[in-house]
Structure 1
């Protein structure tokens, strides 16, 4: 964390020393350069200190001092830029104007004083740096042993071993005993506290396993280990088991010699080895070649929190991966009562609170055992005490009570993170409890906060995606929702992980959460997350160094925020402002004074007009106006040359199922092509006056676009759009909607379609399907609405697309039948067929859509039978029928009564019949 703060500061110094610092005296410049050099000297040691501070209180204080000094220095630099940029249109002009020099003389003196004060602080910190460098070797060793002892070899899980363990234990033993003579690898993966060690220990100790293998060894790796010590311990176990003396000279052997002894010992034996708590691929590769790859039917088992490592190891040795899941609710309750009430039933007056506490454990055995251990010594007659524990669970996790051991076990995963992921992970504390965290929103926030370390040939958003995947791989965040195209829509955090990161974030003063009255506020609030109310906000003196402000579920007036923004320096350093869902009626005038702002979200507010002064926010990267009532953006938006995400799209909620005019975008400036950094443009209307063709030509200049949504396209502008699309080689998502449902979308002149396109939405009349669609092998989702095709059966054009996962046809075809031929749609998972007024039948041949999971058919009134061949869709999980003919429903009920017909749909777990009224669906499950 401190390293991240320093690296962000060092990145700020580079442009500052090139330009801005020339406005100060030479002495101040030298002092700033001294501060920069001292921070640079500390970075290498900070990388080590960040991982060791948990076990050394004095070191933790020093790291905190470094972090706060870095933040304060960055504040001074940014305030400096604000002061001088406010008084002129450029530095050259400023230098030439003596009057401006006099006006800013006071600011110069104030900044010089601040620089001297920081220099003095940095000198003291540097002395501590040297002291810790001298202590480094001893400290590193003691740190590792302390963390290993805290883990305690899963002793906390001893009482969990008989709950929910039978099935996975049987499966693992079955895998071990399979007759394959090759060496096989079995990986058990899951988050900390799930009971991986307990499970695999029960397997390892089972009599069948002991009997069927000649040699056995259990090696605990942990997040920090010395390969020599690990190998020596393994040799000792192997030789002691067969009652042979350990070879002489082992203590002085190098790594290769130790591996050679192990390899020779196991060469002709059938062995089972366990490597418990392996953290990364590097650790695995450091000892994987110590055991021979013979044909004796030997097995290696491993536990890890890293999913990528689990599959890497298993794939290398013809193995299996077992993803250990949380306990089921009933299993959790059994374990909880066994520990808390010593096997007795839960008293009725405590059941509600007990289940509430248990819910926060989310099936994590370690959490259940630790929390129930705490509750077991509490008075069973005192509801107040139990309620206090429920309310203050986060405090208990951070204290010295029964839960501290669990906290340390879980915290191991945090300590193991690289510094850049620690920052991103702790940032999740900014979201409320039980919040589903939108993927796109989180990525844009991380980028705006400056958390992303840039790499060549990758955008910040692509790197952030990699960060998210790594956090998932380490079992630190969970996927909450997946889109039908297979991409993650949102994430969530385990309740106990959230308690830990909120506590850690508070400790490091990264995020301040305003959600409770009477809380203690830090001296300097840098990121503020407001949950539901503003009553607890203190005076504005706390917020002059605020960098980020996010508001969730606001139900109040924002007058207090306006006061904060306009008084005593206000929010002048703000880089992130997220007012999503607040009761705003007009654009806040104070916002245009926030010249450092990179991220601005007014999503789901009632704002209607964006002022011309928006052009002042020249650092803005994200402008999110989705679900507002803004219909036009001023030309001054073109000043925002760093803008990467321009989101302005609104859906009219009522009657969306029937109306063509359900979506609205914005009228943009004619020269929108000058926003060369744009990656997302959604959704721009192109039918205004004579500028439609011009705007479409401008779109072709936006070569960084990943997502483009065009509304109100006229027939005559199709060729201009095609010409621009041929230049957008980075495009992944394209949406095009005509001015009216009978307006023809003509995209046939497109000769070089964007080869990376993953999603395609076409809304409007098509004389024919664009000839280039079958060539887009990356397409994952296709949606055709109001296409009204006549001469071609749409499935024929799409069936060969190798990656197509979702296909939606809504008023897209006017023929009588749809035939899904054998061999087509090999990856399709979701098929939606709506309002095909001429459709009478659907046919599915054997071998078509083998992985289809969801089939939706709606308002196809002439269809009176289920799709012919529906029995071939063996993977189908959901069949939804909405607004279908009475004949089809009657025939369906008839089939349920006739055994020879019922078998065709008996394999479908969920069949739903419904009807729509004003865009809302209602219905019931058939069975």
Structure 2
């Protein structure tokens, strides 16, 4: 049991305290005595939170086992209190208050029965309030029990502490024999070139190169190789390692001793400011080379940077880090090198070297399992070396023994000391996470290995669980997206896919990180994973449950034990999240109605025929509901009962029509449908909390277009098949009321039938029409073409990302777009022959001052020219050349005026062209890149090569 329990308990208390405060408001009308009891609970919980915070800041060896048990008990207690509070709130809200009259006869009847209904409602609420008193008394008793148990068995504080001397895990990497290293020569060569190449002016500058990558990837090893290779070229040098909680005095003292070549013997006696001055004095007239290994945060680097002198003598610095943000900050005057995992070939070589001492082929008997082991290691040297140590220690090294090691990987439960050592290194990254990110990361253990987790779905689950800390005037889901990006930047999750403006659309978890978070989740009873119908102890309090397909691989030597059927009497009354990947296993579990406090439910299988719709409708605590597969509309009939539902995720489900009861979900914030859409009932305008809607199919749900204007909280809208002028105008009228709109996406105009629109005119309204002024992202997809660039785009002062296709592009359009102050990403596609001018020039009066990425595609003879001073922040440029239309057109495009350019992608259309003509165009493109002062990287590709003329 580690600090994880304490951090989880702190997070649980952080979610609970605001809820206790809300019970004291007038809304719940609690008696004075009950309010006093709740204030007592608040005070106790705040004191516990403070005590936990102090404990968590102690070194791990100073935290006693009793303290950890106490933290575990507090964690469980916090969950139970929150469940009681939520249940009370739901019961108060659900108490009957009478029905609304619908006719004269009904009104007459209600005059007679109304008093009866009100009486029933009052009695129900009174009964609910009575129950909360009992709950509070029980909770108080448990609080006293937990505190007394800790006090009863607490040993004297003068107990002997264990030896605290820790071995820095990076030290062995500095003294590793070169013969044992694999796959390091390539990165070391590239980083050496980054440090030594460039113009004469660049070579003289102080250059900082950062090496970034996940823990265990070999950053220290590579940095040390470069250091040993180049150190002789410098007057003085130093290599220092930074810890998670750095001792800046110790680090600066080490630098001072090394650059002074041990002549400064009193370095340890100096204060911080003296150390910095002494280092700067020595470095002022010397060419130096310093490696700062394993920098964790911006503040550490900024402090160390104060001691480094930019003396124009060609000094070099290498910084290694696990944090992309830190790497970007460090490498302002140099470069950022993202260290890649080992290739399959190098991974196999490293495994062989560590097991068999010398390079040898793996025996054919274990070849298959060896490939599976290496696949799980994912090219991370630390993982390969760790597993190789386990395999080397096997007595017989049989196929069966290798499979036993393989099956233990990623389970998080293996107690082997070598795995514990690796987890210790990786856990440094976990320990460095802020408190609010730790439960978010542990939640990823709910997903199977190698599973691609959509970003939006994950953020909505975090929100439903209460993991996202609210901030004033900031949308909850935007905060969650920031959490996601932070985990990517800290190399804790691997980004997958990218939307046009650079953010990852999904993520995966490296198997070794997954092993770590499964281990931590098990320690804190955070998640229980069930693969198949294995027995789970009825004594276990299940908070989060993931039913996964069995990942265990076996062979003919494995013993096949009879599986135990899951008992139906396991207590599901505490489960907050249920994610089902294995439908067969789910059928052996209790019905959904037994999951009484469920907040998150995701069923990755077609289960509608096995689940009673009434069971689904009984989940009154549900905040997130995600379904996958073909669904019948009847399955969702009871969904209107889920009054706390925030997200209905049907992105991977196929449902033709949503039930009318969905209009009762007044707290629904996200309605996410398959890209084909579904027929929506009338009354969607009643979803006053809705923030995200998509895909809305205007052909299936034409009435919803007019209702959109009442959804004033809407921030994200994805809409398809605006297939008539009438629908476009109806949509625009609604759009003018959506002042909170941030993202708007339009998909193709029509289906297979004949449509009366070739393109969409979004400039068809009167001058009084007002656009959503806070729009940040606008995108057209799947053959949607705008007949012209809307003039109202000029008022979008917050527009950051724009991806559109237009029929016609004029010089005035570029001037309009170039004036947008915050535009960072622009993808501009022009329909065939949609440019009439021979030259489009981007001038200083349309500078695109914030643009970082620009993709431009057109099919005319027009030449796009970049003037001086434009696009000062542009780093990535993508262009399209149609060779047969370049004849007689000059190739000067002013590329050298893009002063921040780092990467250029060019696609060459070879349709109906000779090979010589294509090669000539490619040569001219390379020449443009060659003369650019930044020497940006070039990615050159061809299109329609099968339609190219074979003659030279």
TM-score by shorter chain over 0.5: yes
Moved more, 197-206 or 157-166: 157-166
Could you tell me whether the CA contact under 8 Å between 1:667 and 1:686 is conserved in 2?
no
User: What secondary structure sits across from 2:496 in the alignment?
Assistant: strand
The alignment partner of 1:602 has SS state of: strand
Kindly indicate whether the alpha-carbon contact (under 8 Å) linking 1:631 and 1:667 is maintained by their aligned counterparts in 2.
Answer: no
CA distance in 2, matches of 1:217, 1:580: 54
Assess if the C-alpha contact under 8 Å between 1:741 and 1:765 holds in 2.
no
1:387-423 superposed Cα distances (whole Å, 9 cap, x missing partner): 1101111358752422221111111100111111111
Candidates 853, 861, 877, aligned match of 1:843: 861
Match of 1:619 in 2: 644
Range with greater deviation from structure 2 (266-275 or 683-692): 683-692
User: In 1, are the aligned partners of 2:408 and 2:414 still within 8 Å (CA)?
Assistant: no
| CA distance in 2 between partners of 1:112 and 1:502 (Å) | 38
Aligned length: 857
State the match for 2:40 in structure 1: 34
Given the alignment of the two structures, is residue 324 of structure 1 paired with residue 324 of structure 2, yes or no? no
**SS at 2:331 equivalent:** helix
1:165 equivalent to 2:165? Answer no
Correspondence 1:759 to 2:765:
no
**Hey, what's the Cα distance between the residues in 2 that align with 1:724 and 1:154?**
62
In the alignment, what sits opposite 2:899? none
Cα distance between partner residues in 2 of 1:689 and 1:473: 41
1: distance between equivalents of 2:875 and 2:294?
Answer: 39
1:388 aligns with 2:388: no
Q: Are the equivalent residues in 1 in contact too, given 2:692–2:717 (CA < 8 A)?
A: yes
Alignment counterpart, residue 230 of structure 1, candidates 248, 251, 266: 251
Q: Is this contact kept in 2: 1:398–1:500, CA < 8 A? A: no
User: Which residue is 1:246 aligned to?
Assistant: 266
Q: What is the match of residue 210 of structure 1? A: 232
Match of 2:756 in 1: 742
Match status 1:44 vs 2:50? yes
1:757, distance to aligned residue in structure 2 (A): 4.1
* Structure 1 residue 458 displacement after superposition: 1.3
CA–CA distance in structure 1, aligned partners of residues 485 and 45 of structure 2: 31
Question: CA 1:279 to 1:147, structure 2 compared with 1: closer, same or farther past 3 Å?
Answer: farther
Looking at structure 1, the residues matched to 206 and 925 of structure 2 have their Cα atoms a distance apart, in angstroms, of 44
Q: Distance in 2 between matches of 1:350 and 1:118?
A: 56
Contact 2:354 2:385 (C-alpha < 8 Å) held by counterparts: yes
CA distance in structure 2 between the aligned counterparts of 1:821 and 1:138, rounded to whole angstroms: 79
1:724 to 734, 741, 744: 734
Provide the residue aligned with 1:655 in structure 2: none
Contact 1:686–1:696 at 8 Å: present in 2 too? Answer: no
Measured in 2, the distance between the counterparts of 1:535 and 1:878 equals: 58
**Structure 1 residues 501 and 136: alpha-carbon distance in aligned structure 2, compared to 1, 3 A threshold:** farther
TM-score, normalisation: structure 1: 0.80
**How far apart, CA to CA, are the structure 1 residues paired with 2:941 and 2:640?**
53
Matches within 5 A, 1:823-902: 842-843=860-861, 845=863, 847=865, 875-876=904-905, 891=912, 895=915
Q: Deviations over 1:762-819 (max 9, x none)?
A: 87797765444576683645455xx9x6xx468985797455544567xx66989998
Residue in 2 aligned with 1:454? Answer: 470
| C-alpha deviation, 1:327, in angstroms | 1.5
1:480 to 496, 505, 509: 496
Partner of 2:626: 601
Cα distance in structure 1, aligned partners of 2:193 and 2:924: 35
Partner-residue secondary structure (3-state), 1:544: coil
TM-score, length basis structure 2: 0.78
Q: What is the 5 A alignment of 1:455-854?
A: 455-518=471-534, 520-521=536-537, 523-532=540-549, 537-552=566-581, 554-556=582-584, 560=588, 563-566=590-593, 570-584=594-608, 588-609=613-634, 613-626=638-651, 628-634=653-659, 636-651=661-676, 664-670=677-683, 672-685=684-697, 691=703, 694-699=706-711, 702-709=712-719, 711-712=721-722, 714-736=724-746, 741-743=755-757, 745-748=760-763, 749=765, 751-755=769-773, 756-761=775-780, 770-773=790-793, 778=799, 780-783=801-804, 792=808, 797=813, 801=817, 805-807=826-828, 821=840, 842-843=860-861, 845=863, 847=865
Question: 1:291: how far off?
Answer: 4.2
When structure 1 is superposed on structure 2, of 380-389 and 718-727 the one drifting more is 718-727
Q: Is the CA contact 1:540–1:564 (under 8 Å) kept in the aligned structure 2?
A: no
Deviates more, 1:217-226 or 1:257-266: 257-266
Residue 865 to residue 477, structure 1, CA distance change in 2 (3 Å): same
Residues in 2 aligned to 1:782 and 1:311: alpha-carbon distance in whole angstroms: 26
Question: Does structure 1 residue 199 correspond to structure 2 residue 218?
Answer: no
Q: How far apart, in 2, do the equivalents of 1:295 and 1:814 lie?
A: 52
Q: Deviations over 1:533-564 (max 9, x none)?
A: 89964424331111111122x45496556x42
Unaligned runs of 5+ in 1: 652-663, 834-840, 858-863, 882-887, 916-922
Give the match's secondary structure for 2:615: helix
**CA shift in 2, pair 1:112/1:259, >3 Å:** same
Distance 1:270 1:123, change over 3 A: farther
Separation in 1, partners of 2:210, 2:922: 42
RMSD: 4.6
Label 1:493 to 1:146 Cα distance change in 2 as closer, same or farther (>3 A).
farther
Which secondary structure state, in structure 2, belongs to the residue aligned with residue 272 of structure 1?
A: strand
CA distance in structure 2 between the aligned counterparts of 1:14 and 1:519, rounded to whole angstroms = 40
Question: Could you report, residue by residue, the CA deviation over 1:832-886 in whole angstroms, capped at 9, with x for unpaired residues?
Answer: 89xxxxxxx74353658996658699xxxxxx968767999995566689xxxxx
- CA drift at 1:100: 6.9
Report what 1:369 is aligned to.
385
Q: 1:397 to 1:610 in 2, by over 3 A?
A: closer
Structure 2 distance, partners of 1:911, 1:212, is 45
Structure 2 unaligned residues grouped into runs of 5+: 1-7, 99-113, 551-562, 819-823, 867-873, 894-902, 927-937
